[in-house]
């Protein structure tokens, strides 16, 4: 592998090409200029993305086919002219810039990249690249870390403590009896997976700083066994991570099941239990967690935000940002970072939709359905709007049937819950049945509302607490569609087969 030089001659970066998937892309073998295979930017539509840099100017060639990649790279290599093949944009920047310069390309939303700054610009587990970006955080003062935690909210349902400032939980773990542990939860959120695949040292810096602060002796990176890219990069990054003499860092995989991301089920998986069930709280894992030890469980997003904040001296002087994944009826899944003041509409504009936008399910698998996307992405506003804060927005195009969509989400919940508590186990099954009975002409909105209320208020973990949210929010916003189904009509026509079968 070639070395990226901060200044001087021509160098090429290729983002978003997995050389195992694309063995035909082997620029190193045929090009004289240095070529670096960097991680994904998160903007799949822009990849493969070829970037050609010389003396503080970079030309961007997004969405290259393998053939175009080869052609452009060879032409630039032969001519020394980075603009020779009509790039999408050319940007002048500081020649030593350790992160992607601002391109203005909408798909990258790169004006606000903080935690994603290194994604698609640096080689993922390359120590030299990370050193050039400021190097590893080392022995950050505990007070600085605790102070930083006051301004950071846990980012997703994979955080044992989310949507509230983190310091109090950290102090609880510090004060609890026993040697503490930190779990980095990379399971089930594309943003977490991207961070570990593209900029793993940033996440590890956050985890190590936190571990040092609460005197933890162990860090466990927990990922889905199906997430090969994140797992492989995590193992390499852990091997190369310095300054870890007193802290053991392991990478552990768990089953590729959605519920495994729930923090206490993640602990069960790490401990090797095959039957994953959520643990009763209190006590929370910050007091009694991994093997009974105080344990802090955070998503990669949360820890990356911590690392970036610490690099900025914990002052968090810039507006907070959110990593958002836009998926569903879009041409390509897109992961971007936006300021918390941005609206869902602005975030969704980074992805090309396939047939307009009728609604979006905001907040992951059990997010809330919204037709109005003029809503800021900060956690308070999303919560007030009964939307989720998981950082995943699933677009529903104009021809999507909302009733069918929430029925599928309810069925998923009925099949995937762990079965430990009655409100979720029985409630999700009953919810799926109530939604199915619409097709028989039975519409009982009060019964659906009451059932979801019980699930939300009495389930043991966030899975059951949120499982009814898609149906509840859809009932509020799209009631006429539910009534139409009960009257034998699907406004989009997509449920006709189900109705004809009756
Ligand atoms: S809420 Fe659902 S997933 Fe959570 S413990 Fe109860 S049955 Fe299991």
User: In sequence order, what E strands does 314-412 have?
Assistant: 321-328, 334-339, 359-362, 368-370, 392-396
Query: Ligand 1 pocket check: which of 419, 427, 429 to mutate, most ligand atoms within 8 Å of Cβ?
Result: 419
Q: Whole-model pTM?
A: 0.94
Starting from the edge strand earliest in sequence, which strands make up the sheet with 392-396, in order?
Answer: 334-339, 321-328, 392-396, 359-362, 368-370
Point out the residues of the chain with pLDDT beneath 50. 1-3, 6, 314
Spatial contact of 35 and 12, defined as CB atoms under 8 Å apart: yes
Ligand 1 centroid–CA 147 distance in Å is 34
Query: Ligand 1 pocket check: which of 424, 429, 468 to mutate, most ligand atoms within 8 Å of Cβ?
Result: 424
**Residue 24 dihedral angles phi and psi, to the nearest 5°:** -70, -20
Which pLDDT score is estimated for 266? 98
**Residue 400 dihedral angles phi and psi, to the nearest 5°:** -85, 140
- Ligand 1 pocket by Cβ (under 6 Å): 259, 278, 417-421, 424-425, 459-461, 463-464
Tell me: the pLDDT tens digits for 287-297? 999 999 999 99
Ligand 1 centroid–CA 229 distance in Å is 29
Atom of ligand 1 nearest to the CA of 455: 1
- Walk me through the domains of the chain, giving residue ranges and CATH numbers: 11-106 (no CATH), 142-311 (3.40.50.11540), 321-396 (3.10.20.600), 402-500 (1.20.1440.230)
Tell me: the pLDDT tens digits for 315-342? 556 778 999 999 999 999 999 999 999 9
Which pLDDT score is estimated for 403? 97
The radius of gyration of the chain from alpha carbons, rounded to an integer in Å, stands at 24
Greatest Cα pair distance, the chain, in angstroms, is: 71
Spatial contact of 284 and 297, defined as CB atoms under 8 Å apart: no
């Amino acid at each position: 592998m070639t070395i990226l030089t901060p200044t001087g001659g021509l160098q090429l970066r290729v983002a978003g090409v997995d050389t195992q998937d694309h063995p035909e892309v082997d620029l190193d073998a045929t090009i004289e200029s240095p070529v670096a295979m960097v991680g994904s930017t998160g903007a799949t539509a822009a990849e493969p993305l070829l970037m050609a840099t010389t003396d503080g100017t970079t030309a961007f060639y997004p969405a290259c086919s393998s053939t175009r990649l080869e052609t452009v790279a060879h032409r630039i290599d032969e001519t020394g002219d980075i603009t020779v093949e009509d790039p999408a944009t050319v940007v002048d920047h500081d020649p030593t810039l350790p992160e992607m310069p601002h391109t203005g390309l909408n798909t990258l939303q790169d004006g606000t990249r903080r935690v994603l700054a290194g994604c698609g610009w640096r080689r993922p587990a390359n120590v030299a690249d990370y050193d050039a970006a400021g190097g590893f955080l080392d022995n950050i003062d505990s007070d600085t870390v605790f102070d930083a935690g006051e301004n950071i909210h846990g980012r997703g349902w994979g955080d044992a403590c989310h949507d509230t400032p983190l310091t109090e939980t950290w102090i609880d773990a510090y004060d609890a009896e026993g040697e503490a542990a930190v779990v980095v939860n990379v399971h089930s959120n594309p943003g977490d997976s991207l961070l570990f695949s593209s900029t793993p040292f940033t996440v590890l810096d956050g985890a190590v700083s936190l571990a040092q602060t609460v005197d933890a002796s162990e860090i466990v990176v927990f990922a889905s066994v199906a997430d090969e890219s994140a797992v492989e990069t995590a193992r390499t990054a852990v091997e190369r991570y310095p300054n870890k003499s007193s802290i053991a860092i392991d990478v552990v995989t768990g089953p590729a099941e959605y519920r495994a991301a729930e923090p206490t089920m993640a602990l069960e998986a790490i401990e090797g239990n095959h039957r994953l069930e959520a643990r009763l709280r209190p006590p929370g894992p910050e007091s009694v967690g991994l093997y009974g030890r105080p344990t802090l469980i955070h998503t990669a997003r949360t820890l990356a935000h911590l690392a970036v904040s610490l690099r900025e001296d914990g002052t968090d002087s810039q507006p907070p940002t959110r990593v958002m994944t836009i998926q569903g009826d879009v041409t390509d899944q897109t992961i971007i970072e936006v300021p918390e003041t941005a609206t869902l509409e602005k975030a969704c504009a980074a992805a090309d939709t396939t047939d307009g936008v009728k609604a979006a399910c905001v907040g992951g698998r059990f997010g809330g359905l919204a037709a109005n996307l003029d809503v800021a992405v900060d956690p308070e506003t999303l919560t007030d709007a009964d939307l989720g804060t998981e950082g995943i927005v699933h677009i529903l195009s104009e021809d999507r049937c909302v009733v069918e969509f929430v029925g599928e989400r309810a069925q998923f919940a009925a099949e995937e819950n762990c079965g430990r508590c009655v409100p979720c186990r029985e409630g999700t099954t009953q919810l799926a049945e109530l939604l199915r009975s619409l097709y028989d002409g039975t519409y009982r909105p009060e019964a659906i509302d009451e059932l979801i209320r019980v699930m939300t208020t009495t389930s043991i973990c966030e899975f059951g607490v949120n499982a009814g949210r898609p149906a509840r929010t859809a009932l509020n916003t799209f009631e006429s569609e539910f009534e139409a189904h009960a009257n034998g009509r699907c406004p989009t026509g997509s449920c006709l087969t189900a109705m004809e079968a009756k």
